[in-house]
């Protein structure tokens, strides 16, 4: 993967692009929200569609010359419809955050009430955190997971909904390792006449493959990102029943965005085609099997996992008991030195801060893309253990870095 055209104009950026490819090839990407898109998706996203203005929707644009933009967007919509089984799909949101904002803007008035999961318990900034405008425009209360088990507390959520009487309940999370029972959240929403937005950003690929139960057909609105467990390039998506289609479409454009990023829509179309191939289901199953193997080995090595394990692509490790003197930030830094890239993360009942939390979150979506199996993931768990047991020991970090490079060589990327 060279960037000769960039290099001719701008060697500094070309150097950074090539260094980034080397970084992805030679280190383990375990940030749970990341993956490696195929060359086909990367090419589509890096295409001349970036030049095209296509405000509007296929067949009804505000600009001329949109016939190929229409083709690309129609393909993305058709494929997403087939993958997820939704009545209506909008593939234009620039990101998962903007997909969520479109739902709020379509269905709520300023001052309306949102009930969503607390950020430190696995929620997302776009679910009403005060640092996002959503948190300032609407009245937000938050539910929590059960502090003992780490599982969602569906009864507590239903009681909270009775008291707060929200206009919308948001489900779907950034750091929740367990299967979500969408129908129980829908029941809580129905009982207070609220909408239900299921944000499957992290598990879009698992849902597409049928490896996680789908909220489509249960929740009123389903949003997702297209670059996490599905490999369709950076972006967002909104799905809903036909009755809300016009409201959602006008909330995406012109409500929250201008012209769609047609190069990203092209990437989505290609990535969705790949996800419709039979081997995508095998990929999604392997991703989950790998996360389970990673979690089991970490637990065997003495770590405690929030909820004691995982049903999806990520594990959340609470370091407080096993490594009381090591924060999630310390662990993240030492692991990065060793070539294992993941993030410090808050855990339920957080006692440190969001900037230097008590846990680490690790995902297997990107490792699985480059060919890792359960045995490899157990090896990775052992490498993580060696580093987190001795984060200040430079010789340990250097040894692990070598083992990481060997694993990377055995599982090459972007050949």
Ligand X SMILES: *Cc1c(COP(=O)(O)O)cnc(C)c1O
Positions at the binding site = 119, 123-125, 242, 353-355
Least distance (Å) from ligand X to the CB of residue 42? 17
> Measured from the CB atom, is 201 or 269 closer to ligand X?
201
Site stretch for ligand X (CB under 6 A), options 16-24, 44-52, 92-100, 315-323: 92-100
Among residues 199, 274, 296, 311, the one that binds ligand X under rule CB under 6 A: 199
For 189-220, give one letter per residue: b (16+ CB within 10 A) or e. Answer: beebebbbbbbbbbbbbbbbbebbbbbbebbb
In contact, 256 and 105? CB cutoff 8 Å: yes
Q: Read off φ and ψ for residue 109, nearest 5 degrees.
A: -105, 150
User: Cα–Cα distance between 326 and 182 in angstroms, integer?
Assistant: 36
Least distance (Å) from ligand X to the CB of residue 323? 26
> Measured from the CB atom, is 137 or 383 closer to ligand X?
137
In contact, 383 and 400? CB cutoff 8 Å: yes
Among residues 27, 29, 45, 95, the one that binds ligand X under rule CB under 6 A: 95
Q: Which two three-digit tokens encode residue 274?
A: 């790949």
Binding mask 206-235 for ligand X (x = CB under 6 A): -------------------x----------
> Measured from the CB atom, is 197 or 383 closer to ligand X?
197
User: Cα–Cα distance between 315 and 309 in angstroms, integer?
Assistant: 7
Least distance (Å) from ligand X to the CB of residue 88? 20
Q: Examine residue 254 and say whether the peptide bond preceding it is cis (omega within 30 degrees of 0).
A: yes
Sheet containing 343-345: give its strands across: 304-305, 314-318, 359-363, 343-345
Q: Which two three-digit tokens encode residue 110?
A: 């300023």
In contact, 136 and 85? CB cutoff 8 Å: no
Site stretch for ligand X (CB under 6 A), options 16-24, 168-176, 248-256, 325-333: 168-176
Q: Is 202 in the site for ligand X (CB under 6 A)?
A: yes
> Measured from the CB atom, is 27 or 126 closer to ligand X?
126
Least distance (Å) from ligand X to the CB of residue 4? 30
> Measured from the CB atom, is 96 or 329 closer to ligand X?
96
> Measured from the CB atom, is 222 or 397 closer to ligand X?
222
List binding-site positions for (6S)-5,6,7,8-tetrahydrofolate: 119, 123-125, 242, 353-355
51-90 positions binding ligand X, by CB under 6 A: none
Least distance (Å) from ligand X to the CB of residue 301? 27
Binding mask 33-52 for ligand X (x = CB under 6 A): x-------------------
Among residues 84, 104, 173, 303, the one that binds ligand X under rule CB under 6 A: 173
106-145 positions binding ligand X, by CB under 6 A: 124, 126
CB atoms within 10 A of CB 15: 13
Site stretch for ligand X (CB under 6 A), options 156-164, 194-202, 277-285, 315-323: 194-202
Q: Which two three-digit tokens encode residue 248?
A: 């959602």
330-359 positions binding ligand X, by CB under 6 A: none
**3-class DSSP string for 246-299:** HHHHHHHHHHHCCCCCHHHHHHHHHHHHHHHCHHHHHHHHHHHHHHHHHHHHHH
Q: Which two three-digit tokens encode residue 335?
A: 């692991």
User: Cα–Cα distance between 201 and 258 in angstroms, integer?
Assistant: 22
Q: Which two three-digit tokens encode residue 368?
A: 């699985």
Site stretch for ligand X (CB under 6 A), options 93-101, 203-211, 260-268, 407-415: 93-101
Least distance (Å) from ligand X to the CB of residue 208? 16
Least distance (Å) from ligand X to the CB of residue 10? 26
Least distance (Å) from ligand X to the CB of residue 220? 17
Q: Computed over its alpha carbons, how large is the radius of gyration of the chain?
A: 21
Q: Considering CB under 6 A, how many residues would be counted as binding ligand X?
A: 14
Torsion of CA 389, 394, 400, 406, to 10 degrees: 170
In contact, 204 and 233? CB cutoff 8 Å: no
User: Cα–Cα distance between 303 and 319 in angstroms, integer?
Assistant: 7
Among residues 150, 205, 236, 359, the one that binds ligand X under rule CB under 6 A: 236
The residues binding ligand X (CB under 6 A) are 33, 95-97, 124, 126, 172-174, 199, 201-202, 225, 236
């Amino acid at each position: 993967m060279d960037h000769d055209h960039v290099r001719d104009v701008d060697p500094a950026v070309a150097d950074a692009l090539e260094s980034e490819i080397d970084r992805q090839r030679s280190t383990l990407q375990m940030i749970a929200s990341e993956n490696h898109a195929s060359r086909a998706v990367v090419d589509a996203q890096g295409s001349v569609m970036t030049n095209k203005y296509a405000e509007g929707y296929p067949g009804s644009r505000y600009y001329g010359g949109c016939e190929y933009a229409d083709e690309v967007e129609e393909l993305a919509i058709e494929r997403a419809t087939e993958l997820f089984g939704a009545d209506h799909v909008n593939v234009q949101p620039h990101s998962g955050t903007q997909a969520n904002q479109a739902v709020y803007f379509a269905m709520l008035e300023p001052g309306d009430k949102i009930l969503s999961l607390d950020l430190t318990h696995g929620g997302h900034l776009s679910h009403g955190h005060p640092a996002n405008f959503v948190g300032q425009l609407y009245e937000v209360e938050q539910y929590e997971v059960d502090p003992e088990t780490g599982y969602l507390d569906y009864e507590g959520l239903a009681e909270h909904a009775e008291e707060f009487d929200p206009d919308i309940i948001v489900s779907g999370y950034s750091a929740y390792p367990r299967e979500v029972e969408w129908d129980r959240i829908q029941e809580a929403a129905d009982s207070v006449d609220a909408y239900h937005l299921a944000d499957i950003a992290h598990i879009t690929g698992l849902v597409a493959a049928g490896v996680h139960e789908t909220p489509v057909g249960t929740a009123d609105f389903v949003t997702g990102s297209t670059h996490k467990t599905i490999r369709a390039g950076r972006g967002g998506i909104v799905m809903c029943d036909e009755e809300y289609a016009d409201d959602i479409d006008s909330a995406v454009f012109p409500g929250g965005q201008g012209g769609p990023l047609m190069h990203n829509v092209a990437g989505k179309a290609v990535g969705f085609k790949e996800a419709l191939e039979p081997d995508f289901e095998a990929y999604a199953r392997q991703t989950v099997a790998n996360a389970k193997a990673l979690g089991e080995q970490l637990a065997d090595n003495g770590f405690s996992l929030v909820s004691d394990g995982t049903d999806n692509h990520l594990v959340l490790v609470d370091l407080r008991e096993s490594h009381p003197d090591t924060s999630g930030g310390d662990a993240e830094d030492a692991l990065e030195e060793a070539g294992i890239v993941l993030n410090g993360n808050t855990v339920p009942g957080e006692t440190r801060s969001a900037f230097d939390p008590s846990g680490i979150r690790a995902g297997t979506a990107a490792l699985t893309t480059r060919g890792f199996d359960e045995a490899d993931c157990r090896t990775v768990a052992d490498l993580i253990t060696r580093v987190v047991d001795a984060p200040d020991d430079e010789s340990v970090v250097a040894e692990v870095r070598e083992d990481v490079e060997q694993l990377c060589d055995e599982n090459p990327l972007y050949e």
